[in-house]
Structure 1
Amino acid sequence: MKPPYQPIRCDLYDYLEIACLFGYRLQVELASGQTFEAKALTTRVQGGEEFLTLQNGEATREYRLDAITAITPLDSGARFGRVVLAP
């Protein structure tokens, strides 16, 4: 069973929206310790939980936002740097 969803702060959610709007390639850090690179596609809400959809090559995956600890845009000229979403 998954733990209850813990929403991220609204100001941090804005960075995810910007990443999706510009299709930034991100370095994503997960609470599990895993890191990977992927393109930000979109965010969505389902059943009170928020998700980020990422594309890595041909694969598209969704991650619950409280499972993501940080994102760093890899595109030159990105409008923000590394953002920590969860401690």
Structure 2
Amino acid sequence: MSMNEAYHPINCDDYDNLELACQQQLTLALTLKDGEALQAKATDLISRKNVEYLLADVAGESRELRLDRIASFSHPQTGTVVIGES
């Protein structure tokens, strides 16, 4: 997936679940659409140039993950959420 590819907003319920994860600073098990799997502490959601990102702390390093590149995330409190497009 090219970084210049058009952004496709995610489902509102999935966004709300990510927002809650950020508010609670939850550590999520994330699977990206490219197959990468990682553990990341959700810290914030931002929007830049009409593209939404999850700000996450991955092993002490801050990363911006495009929301439409996340396939799923899970946490014991939220269960597993498979991201859908709106």
**TM-score when normalising by structure 1:** 0.89
Q: Secondary structure at the match of 2:7?
A: coil
Shift of residue 86, structure 1, vs aligned partner: 3.7
Task: Tell me the number of residue pairs that the alignment of Structure 1 and Structure 2 aligns.
Answer: 83
Query: Cα RMSD (Å) of the superposition?
Result: 1.4
Structure 2 CA distance, aligned partners of 1:31 and 1:71?
Answer: 11
Structure 2 CA distance, aligned partners of 1:11 and 1:59?
Answer: 27
Q: Confirm or deny that 1:18 pairs with 2:16.
A: no
Unmatched 5+ stretches in structure 1:
none
Q: Secondary structure at the match of 1:12?
A: helix
Partner residue in 1 for 2:6: 4
Within 5 A, what are the aligned runs for 1:43-58? 43-58=45-60
Unmatched 5+ stretches in structure 2:
none
Shift of residue 3, structure 1, vs aligned partner: 1.1
Q: Secondary structure at the match of 2:79?
A: coil
Within 5 A, what are the aligned runs for 1:1-87? 1=2, 2-73=4-75, 76=76, 78=77, 80-86=78-84
**TM-score when normalising by structure 2:** 0.90
Q: Percent identity?
A: 34
